Amino acid sequence: MVTKEEAVQLLQDMIQINTENDNEEELARYIQEFLTAHGIESELVEFAPKRASLVAEISNGPGKKLGLTGHLDVVSAGNAEDWTYSPFSGFVDENKILWGRGASDMKSGLAALVLAMVALHESQDYSGTIRLLATVGEEVGEYGSKQLTKLGYVDDLDGMLIGEPCNIGIIYAHKGSLNYKVTSKGTAAHSSMPELGNNAIEHLNHAMLKISEAIAQETTKHTDPELGQTFHNITVVTGGQQVNSIPDWASFEANARTIPAYDNQDVIRTVKYVIEELNEQEGFDLNLEVTADQKPVVSDKHSPLIQSILKVQQQFPSLQVPAQLKQMEEVLGGDLSGQNDLPSTLVPLAVSGTTDAAQFTQSKKTFDVAVYGPGIPMLNHKIDERLPVDQYWDFIAIYQAILSDYLS
């Protein structure tokens, strides 16, 4: 059995391996060596140079097959000088708070899943199969989960537990995420002679207005009882090169958070329709590029996997929602009672954020999905990301119990 000190060291080592949107192979090899030392075989699945996912499996006779997944990459740490402690130190302070990029999102969740798998391999307190899927590129593109799904690694699963930071709820459904870019081409000219040019920014502005109006009209027609409505935001606008020149190029990028009734393909069709209509008008030359396409996920909130989590969680007082909220308040130094959207007990949740489930659920077989893991979601992607060591340790224990119960 791994000690608490060894578990903390594992997480510290993982944080000290910089995987900012890249370099996941180094971390995958580190985890592979750790698993090998505990008698578990694994394989690297290369995505690109220096980028590889990791797949490991243990079995104990016939039974259900459960996938455990977490991503190896983290988002940029930004300016390291803005951090209280170095973002890749994994420093543990006097209050037993562990600091670093990935402490919450989500190297703690991945480490806890790995340690729970090792513990069950040693105890044999389960039946069936446990398969670990540690993925590359979740933060930008969900590349690893998409690749592993295409290669058939999840086609035989009965359930999947995702260790993303969600310590006060169990996510069973989330919106999809669609990123797209529209480019407007024009003709450059001196700003004193605009009649000789074709202003790409003016045409782009018109396109932004028309596309936003068209999508807004469609979203009001479709409401999901769990996820609400699709929403759409233009988030990046660029164009022009010089203040006294008519711009010959401009673009905007947008993100839509989608529901099954008005999903990614529906949004794309709306954008294409508007662009095609505008391109028939004089001066318009608009092009569409889809840059990310992550489908909405809706699983059964009464599934056996979620029921196992709800049942087992009752045995862990420190992981009850009031205790977790108090712990987060201590770390954040603020009162969370004023936030009306926070649950008071552990319940299944539908959220707007996306996970690797968007790719994994495109497999040939439908399976239970649950997102439940250590972390402080309010600190995800932020400077001074951190996590209480006790919460991480508690999740190692509850993961063992969940796996045993679900696979019993």
Instruction: Give the active site residue among 138, 158, 293, 385.
Output: 138
Given phi > 0 = left and psi -120 to 50 = alpha, else beta, which region is 152?
left
**One-letter amino acid for residue 49 of the chain:** P
**One-letter amino acid for residue 68 of the chain:** L
Query: How many angstroms separate the Cα of 385 from the Cα of each of 226, 233, 291?
Result: 30, 27, 28
DSSP 244-258: TEE-SEEEEEEEEEE
**Helix, strand, or coil here: 28?**
helix
Instruction: Give the active site residue among 25, 73, 139, 385.
Output: 73
What is the pLDDT, as a whole number, of residue 189? 96
What is the pLDDT, as a whole number, of residue 285? 98
Whole-model pTM?
A: 0.92
What is the pLDDT, as a whole number, of residue 73? 98
How far apart CA 385 and CA 380 sit, in angstroms, is 6
- The yes-or-no answer on residue 138 being catalytic is yes
Cβ proximity of 366 and 186 under 8 Å: no
Question: 245-246 and 159-162: which strand pairing?
Answer: unpaired
What is the pLDDT, as a whole number, of residue 334? 85
What is the pLDDT, as a whole number, of residue 1? 81
Q: Which domains does the chain have, with CATH numbers?
A: 4-175+296-406 (3.40.630.10), 176-293 (3.30.70.360)
C-alpha torsion 58→60→61→62, nearest 10: -70
What is the pLDDT, as a whole number, of residue 66? 98
What is the pLDDT, as a whole number, of residue 339? 76
What is the pLDDT, as a whole number, of residue 141? 86
Regions of the chain short of the pLDDT cut 70: none
- The yes-or-no answer on residue 330 being catalytic is no
What is the pLDDT, as a whole number, of residue 301? 96
